[in-house]
Amino acid sequence: MVAVSISPGYRETELERAIERTVPGTLALGDPAEVARVDTSSRIITKAALIIAVLALLLGAVVVINTMAMAVIERQKEFGVLAALGWSRLRIVRLILGETMAVSLVGAAAGLGLGVLVSGLVVRALAAGNFVSPYVSAWVLVRGVLVGLALGVLAALFCVWQVMRVPLLEAINR
């Protein structure tokens, strides 16, 4: 945001149009009340975006943990057979961890790609290019992948706990 003081003799609307022509993508607001509304609206949007992001992360965590837990619970008999064949608990844990991390990485990459695509489409569809930018930096993508992997680790730990608490013979009989 840049404040411009107008010298006497210049008309506000002409100066606004001149600024918008000179600096493409700029929105010039002459009325201080408009500036206050835009500032308040941007704060509300920023807070709403943060709340939506936190809710999306929580929902993502629940979905990843639930999906992986169901997959592991359905395969408990298989893990019992593997243990009976000589697989160590550590080897079974590594198998579960590897599968969960692979699913999380693919999901994070697909989600990030879809998010970048949809954000650009939404900004264009709403004609909001003057107010928001769909630019996504490499650092944002890296953080997204790290969050996806962190959710995968949580899911893997829950799955490992599910598998390791069941005795070998009970797992085979299920």
82 located within any domain:
yes
Within a domain: 146: yes
The C-alpha atoms of residue 95 and residue 16 are separated, in whole angstroms, by 63
pLDDT tens across the length of the chain (174 residues)? 666 667 777 777 777 788 778 887 777 776 666 666 666 767 787 788 889 888 988 888 888 888 888 888 888 888 888 888 998 888 988 998 888 888 888 988 898 899 889 888 887 887 766 667 777 889 988 998 898 888 888 888 888 887 788 776 677 776
Asked if residue 169 belongs to a domain, the reply is: yes
Does residue 113 lie in a domain region? Answer: yes
Q: Is 164 contained in some domain?
A: yes
Q: Look up residue 160 and give its two tokens.
A: 């490992």
Number of domains the chain contains: 1
**Is residue 28, in this structure, part of any structural domain at all?**
no
**Within a domain: 53:** no
Q: Which stretches of the chain are DSSP H helices?
A: 12-22, 32-74, 76-84, 89-125, 138-164, 168-173
Domain containing residue 91: 60-173
156 within some domain: yes
